[in-house]
Amino acid sequence: MTSTDAFIAIREVEKFYGSFQAIANVSMDIRHGEFFSLLGASGCGKTTLLRMLAGFESASSGEICIDGQPMSEVPPYLRPVNMVFQNYAIFPHLNVRDNIAYGLRRLRLPRSKRHEMVEEILDLVKLPGYGDRRANELSGGQRQRVALARALILRPKVLLLDEPLGALDKQLREQMQVELRRLQRSVGITFVFVTHDQEEALTLSDRIAVMAGGRVLQVDTPSRLYEAPRSREVANFIGTMNFLGARVVSRANGHLRLDIEALGQLDLPAGGTPLSEGDRTCVAIRPEKITLHKDRPGGDAPALSGTLEMTTYLGERSHFHVRVPGCDNSFSVSAQNNTIQGGEGQASGRPVWLTWRDDALFVLGKD
Amino acid sequence: MIDAPLTGTRPAVVQERRPGRLAGLFHRSESLRGYTMLSPTMLVMAVGILAPFIILLAMSFWTRQGFEFDTTPTFANYARAMSEPIFGAFLARSFWVSGIATVATVLLCYPMAYYVAFHVHRNKMLWIVLMTLPFWTSYLLRVFAWKVILGYEGVINSALLSMGLIDAPLEFLLYSQTAVIITLAHAWAAFAILPLYVSLEKIDRSLLEAATDLGDGPAWRFLRVTLPLSMPGVIAAVFLIFIPTTGDFITPALLGGPDGAMIGNLIQLQFGAVNNWPMGAALSIVLMLWIATVALVFLLVTRKAQERLA
Ligand SMILES: Nc1ncnc2c1ncn2[C@@H]1O[C@H](COP(=O)(O)OP(=O)(O)O)[C@@H](O)[C@H]1O
Ligand SMILES: [Mg+2]
């Protein structure tokens, strides 16, 4: 990444509330025009980081630059960013039109021009003709659109969204996800989106920063986060993952020789991991990359044998829990139902074998 | 032996449980229950407010005949109230004095309520109680306290004299409209602080942040969000102070002097020394009508202003 990529540059930012550290030494770059998500469990500091971008909280140390401008001295009302609040914060004493036109005061436009802009943006968020409604006459989804319109009409360089879909029901949420994505593409504004819902983050984002305990664990595209998480925390947070404890035996020309529990010695690509001889680590594999066999498979590919503990039927898929001797946790295996035979074949207690393609197993960073 | 009486009474119990028709209606009708709950209050209101008002209204159409009342209805008292300039002058002065006192009170109390609502995070109630502490003493006592402070040999004058800042006591301090305004403003402060505090406290903090986020600095944000949203509190405070102070007669009687007297003093005179109750009643009704008018105009103006600011 070159420095011109850094539309928003966050440099060694820390935030303390009293002696409590809410943000611990975060550095990252957000590119121009990208849909960027902050993903993490509740309380991990997502809102705090977003509020520092908006200017409602100041960093205890470190620097935030937006479009090359250092932000530390810029008050929130002069920053080129706008925010969609978690509870939408629609002004109850104003109607929809005045809510949306609220930020236009500074532009000193004639009334007719203001109205024209409001109508235009109402069309964009699919609320035409709602200008005269009061805030309390709107549904949750409509309030959300008003909050979006109110921020977008100012054409900010960055739009900040704090769990904007959290209060909506599932169906509406999925519909709004599609619309958010469409909107972001059509206006070309950089979105920084906070969510604790990994599926939502994967669906919407160009890139995601996974956070935990005030730290950023990994910044990557959705597919890289899923396919190549760099730590056990990230792997656990995004989807389901099976882990096997391992110890590095040796490291040579980009490959690690590992001693893996239940599997024995195996060579794997080292990737970017800083592992060296003697380190304890983990190897990981996704449930859907494992093939379940009722009979011992032929060939010399690595295979684990175990007993089927439980089967969960999920319609299009089935989930299997397999206990493998020598492993602490049982294995999760997921399979499309059109690739397996259903029925009594999956009775619990029966012996099964697990295999996978060579590149499905990968090594994580240091524990 | 034990079973027999039990089984015998059971059907009776079941029948008793079944609610009667009236009770059923009572349980189903929300409004009926509401009225029942209100009825003691309504009774007190009817007896304590409506009855005296009707008597007052009726009496205002009577006239005085020596020490008796002539009960033939007539508009004579109202005609007199309109034709003799002294009544109009006193009425105007009352509105002026209590208007200034109201504005002063609300202006002084708003920052206090604002401070507690937005900048005090612990023990808010303690602050509110402390602010209303002076109002735990009697009204009369507070008026006398101001007399001590504002008097010729009072706290302010003797302090200024001893410092050599003035040669003679400041006379405008006591027995003047100033004295009445100061005292009224202080005496009614609690009635402004409480509604103002409640309305400010209720404002969602994220609305203020939204205003900031949309480009308003502190001043604009206050004018466009905080003030409009606290308007119910301001209106309540204005009414709670303006209405009773317009008719107040204790403070002007004790501190007003000749040009501090208000309509309340005039009405009191009619019921006392002058002994013309029908005239006093008519003046009271006129005062009431004027207050209602002023209140309505005030409501309309604030509503218009609010729409304009938005
Ligand atoms: N104003 C504050 N004072 C003290 N602690 C705070 C404050 N705001 C947030 N925190 C703490 O900082 C941590 C991160 O909070 P937040 O950023 O809101 O998390 P998230 O949005 O990821 O759920 C939490 O542990 C929270 O309790
Ligand atoms: Mg949050």
Q: Look at residue B167 in the predicted model and tell me its pLDDT.
A: 87
For A228, the 3-state DSSP assignment is coil
Give the type of residue at A79: R
For the Cβ of A17 lying below 6 angstroms from any atom of ligand 1, the answer is yes
A147 contacts A84 by C-beta, under 8 angstroms: yes
Q: Look at residue A85 in the predicted model and tell me its pLDDT.
A: 93
In a domain, B221, yes or no: yes
**Dist CA A289 CA A296 (whole Å):** 18
Residue B33: how many other CB atoms lie within 10 Å: 12
The nearest CA of chain B is from the CA of A49 a distance in Å of 16
For the Cβ of A48 lying below 6 angstroms from any atom of ligand 1, the answer is yes
**Which of B213, B225, B306 lies at the smallest CB-CB distance from A82?**
B213
Q: Look at residue A339 in the predicted model and tell me its pLDDT.
A: 65
Could you tell me if A239 lies within 8 Å of chain B, comparing CB atoms?
Answer: no
CA–CA distances in Å: residue B34 to residues A201, B55, B62, B91:
51, 29, 40, 40
Please calculate the CA angle A128-A130-A131 and round it to the nearest 5 degrees.
Answer: 105
For A17, the 3-state DSSP assignment is strand
**Which of A75, A86, A98 lies at the smallest CB-CB distance from B310?**
A98
The nearest CA of chain B is from the CA of A153 a distance in Å of 10
Put simply, the answer to whether A82 touches B220 (Cβ < 8 Å) is: no
In a domain, B162, yes or no: yes
Token output for B55: 């008597």
Put simply, the answer to whether A89 touches B225 (Cβ < 8 Å) is: no
In a domain, B61, yes or no: no
**Dist CA B84 CA B89 (whole Å):** 9
Which residue, A189, A191, A167, A174, is CA-closest to A89?
Answer: A167
The better pLDDT of the pair B139, B309 is held by B139
In a domain, B27, yes or no: no
Q: Look at residue B32 in the predicted model and tell me its pLDDT.
A: 81
- Would you mind telling me the total number of residues written for chain A in this entry? 367
The better pLDDT of the pair B308, B99 is held by B99
With the most atoms of ligand 1 within 8 angstroms of its CB, the residue from A20, A21, A57 to mutate is A20
Q: Which residues of A touch B310 (CB under 8 A)?
A: 93-94, 98
Overall number of domains in chain B:
1
Put simply, the answer to whether A105 touches B228 (Cβ < 8 Å) is: no
| Residue-number span of the structural domain to which B190 is assigned | 86-309
In a domain, B130, yes or no: yes
CB pairs under 8 A between A and B: 61
Could you tell me if A115 lies within 8 Å of chain B, comparing CB atoms?
Answer: no
A363 contacts A251 by C-beta, under 8 angstroms: no
Q: Is this prediction's pTM over 0.80?
A: yes
Q: Look at residue A328 in the predicted model and tell me its pLDDT.
A: 78
pLDDT in tens, B195-237: 999 999 999 999 999 999 999 999 999 999 999 999 999 999 9
In a domain, B75, yes or no: no
**Residue with the nearest Cα to atom 14 of ligand 1?**
A45
- Would you mind telling me the total number of residues written for chain B in this entry? 310
pLDDT band, very low/low/confident/very high, at B288 (cuts 50, 70, 90): very high
The enclosing domain of B161 has a CATH number of 1.10.3720.10
Q: Look at residue B96 in the predicted model and tell me its pLDDT.
A: 95
* pLDDT above 90: residue B169: no
**Nearest-CA residue of chain A relative to B205?**
A89
**Residue with the nearest Cα to atom 7 of ligand 1?**
A17
Put simply, the answer to whether A103 touches B229 (Cβ < 8 Å) is: no
Phi, psi of B244 (to 5 degrees): -70, -30
* Partner residues linked to A311 by β-bridges: A320
pLDDT band, very low/low/confident/very high, at B17 (cuts 50, 70, 90): low
**Nearest-CA residue of chain A relative to B210?**
A89
The better pLDDT of the pair B156, B219 is held by B219
Please calculate the CA angle A299-A304-A305 and round it to the nearest 5 degrees.
Answer: 105
Residue A110: how many other CB atoms lie within 10 Å: 8
**Nearest-CA residue of chain B relative to A149?**
B214
Q: Directed axis angle between helix B124-132 and helix B85-119, to 10°?
A: 150
Q: Which residues of B touch A56 (CB under 8 A)?
A: 209, 212-213
pLDDT in tens, A105-157: 888 889 899 999 999 999 988 899 999 999 889 998 899 999 999 999 999 99
Residues of chain A with pLDDT under 50: 1-3, 343-344
In a domain, B292, yes or no: yes
* pLDDT above 60: residue B125: yes
Q: Look at residue B195 in the predicted model and tell me its pLDDT.
A: 95
**Dist CA A317 CA A219 (whole Å):** 30
**Which of B209, B214, B228 lies at the smallest CB-CB distance from A102?**
B214
Strand A81-84 vs strand A158-162: parallel, antiparallel, or unpaired? parallel
Q: Look at residue B8 in the predicted model and tell me its pLDDT.
A: 41
In a domain, B20, yes or no: no
Q: Look at residue A166 in the predicted model and tell me its pLDDT.
A: 84
For the Cβ of A22 lying below 6 angstroms from any atom of ligand 1, the answer is yes
Output the CA A214–ligand 2 centroid distance in Å: 12
Q: For the residues B164-179, what does the mean pLDDT come to? A: 85
Which of B206, B214, B216, B230 has the most A C-beta neighbours within 10 Å, making it the best mutation to test the interface with A? B214
Which residue, A235, A271, A270, is CA-closest to A250?
Answer: A270
